[in-house]
């Protein structure tokens, strides 16, 4: 118990007066990260397309914690929007300590049926959004020797059928972040990948089908999934401890282990798991 209290105190001290940017902050992991960082003393910049939602979150955080909050409407798939929210952050706070690339969209359809513009949209948000945001934040994070984080997925390490575009985008983010980490091995910049297993959030509701329409109700039972709040706590812990890669959730860790040592078995297990989903694409 004492160790838990001490670590909570340490993270609070570490985060005090930091400037943390969170993309995709209107719901799910991004929203949970905003609260987790704020209660530890970090000022937060909330970036999302749904301004009305981040405005509400901003007001709530202001009422609960003694931190500053800036809510910015932006579409991270647009390069100029990414440049804009970085500039607004600098104009407001004068520095950036932490960038958390969290915004993302999912996709669920067999590749044979999938319109190519859907894959492009997924790549634009998940991959290019991370690249654009990091590019414009990097000069300032170099000055603070801060952290660049990408919230990805176990699907960026172990693929899923009917998620070709989504998995490709997450694999691309992993490659980008791993290369960036080595580039900055001696600069003091911390680069971390956070890869959770299934998280109960809106992402599956907004997953894109073959024609680009949204899926709606999740095809999976979300009761046994990770909560956004637990994932947020793990990510913040990873930042304070300067972790390299974080696999979050036992199911994901087991899946990665099985894939490494028994890849053919894991392929078949994944196939039959997805086949059993409600309204399975198979």
User: Which residues are known to be catalytic?
Assistant: 166
Phi-psi region for residue 242, left (φ > 0), alpha (ψ -120 to 50) or beta?
Answer: left
Which distant-in-sequence residues (6+ apart) come within 8 Å of 53 by Cβ? 26, 27
Number of helices and strands in the chain (H, E) = 10, 7
Helices (H), 145-225: 164-183
Contact 210, 109 (CB under 8 A): yes
- What does the alpha-carbon distance between residue 258 and residue 264 come to, in Å, rounded to a whole number? 9
Report which DSSP code applies to 81: H
How many angstroms separate the CA atoms of 277 and 282, rounded?
9
For 57, the token pair is: 């979150």
CA-wise closest residue to 38 among 59, 72, 3, 64: 64
Kindly give, in sequence order, each residue whose CB lies less than 8 Å from that of residue 257, ignoring residues fewer than 6 positions away.
none
Calculate Rg over the CA atoms of the chain.
Answer: 18
């Amino acid at each position: 118990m004492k160790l838990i209290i001490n670590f909570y105190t340490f993270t609070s001290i570490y985060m005090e007066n930091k400037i943390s940017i969170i993309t995709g902050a209107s719901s799910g992991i991004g929203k949970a990260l905003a609260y987790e960082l704020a209660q530890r003393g970090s000022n937060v910049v909330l970036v999302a397309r749904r301004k009305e939602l981040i405005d509400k979150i901003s007001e709530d955080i202001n009422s609960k914690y003694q931190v500053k909050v800036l809510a910015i409407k932006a579409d991270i798939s647009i390069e100029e929007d990414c440049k804009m929210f970085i500039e607004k952050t600098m104009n407001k706070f004068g520095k950036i300590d932490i960038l958390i690339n969290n915004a993302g969209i999912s996709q669920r359809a067999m590749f044979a049926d999938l319109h190519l513009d859907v894959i492009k949209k997924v790549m634009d948000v998940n991959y290019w959004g991370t690249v654009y945001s990091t590019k414009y934040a990097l000069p300032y994070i170099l000055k603070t020797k801060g952290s660049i984080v990408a919230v990805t997925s176990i699907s960026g390490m172990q693929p899923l059928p009917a998620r070709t575009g989504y998995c490709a985008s997450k694999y691309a983010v992993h490659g980008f972040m791993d290369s960036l980490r080595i580039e900055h091995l001696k600069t003091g910049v911390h680069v971390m990948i956070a890869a959770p297993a299934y998280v109960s959030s809106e992402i599956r509701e907004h997953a894109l089908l073959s024609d680009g329409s949204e899926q709606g109700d999740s095809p999976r039972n979300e009761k046994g999934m990770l909560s956004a709040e637990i994932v947020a706590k793990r990510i913040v812990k990873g930042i304070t401890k300067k972790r390299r890669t974080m696999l979050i959730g036992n199911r994901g860790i087991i899946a990665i282990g099985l894939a490494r040592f028994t890849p053919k078995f894991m392929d078949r297990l994944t196939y039959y798991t997805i086949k059993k989903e409600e309204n399975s694409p198979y």
